[in-house]
Amino acid sequence: MTSAFSFVMRYGGYGFREINLFMREKSSQELTPKVRIHFDVAYDSKTSKSASGLVGWDTRGNLMALKTVFHRNIPSPFAAKAHACLEGIKLGILLRIHSVKLMEDSKTVIKKCQETSTDKSIIGAIIRDIQQKKSDFQDLIFQYIHRSENLEAHRIAKIALGKGETIYLRGEELDSQNLASVGYWARNPD
């Protein structure tokens, strides 16, 4: 948003002069990501399978989307975390969100996603995919959170790994009865 400020200033002994100043301001909405996407994984080293759990919340803290993705041939838990981050980016794109905060409890993956340099680790190709998709957002933040703040994403990842399935729910599909019936959310004790 551009604002114009105008004021009159005494100009020496010869009268007054109008001065206009233009300032570029960012509204608080531009600075605050509109959606938070928590992501986590469950990994089975015996079968090299993993599942990503993703939970999207709007600015009011309302559940907006729930997604799990089942993966095969994943070489390590570290690679599984990177795949989950990529799935978080894809969820933001799918939801057509321009401002998102991706949150996870792996400091290493979050740090690698924040960097702009080429990553030469085992997950370098996945990190490059993540960095290429950054341009789909106006504002994209990767934030480390404590494991205790990521329980929902971890729980649904574990369930998805056990079931070997990929799901995507949003809107009316997210009512508590529906979520409980597919086994991804606790039932209300009504």
Q: Tell me the longest C-alpha to C-alpha distance in the chain.
A: 87
Q: How far apart are CA 51 and CA 72, in angstroms?
A: 9
Q: How far apart are CA 164 and CA 166, in angstroms?
A: 7
pTM over 0.85: no
User: What are the structural domains, with CATH classification, of the chain?
Assistant: 30-181 (3.30.420.10)
A 10 A CB-CB count for 61 gives 8
Residue-wise pLDDT for 31-74, tens only, equals 555 799 999 999 999 999 999 999 999 988 889 999 999 999 99
* Res 74: pLDDT: 97
Residue-wise pLDDT for 6-17, tens only, equals 444 445 555 555
Q: How far apart are CA 32 and CA 99, in angstroms?
A: 8
Q: How far apart are CA 37 and CA 29, in angstroms?
A: 17
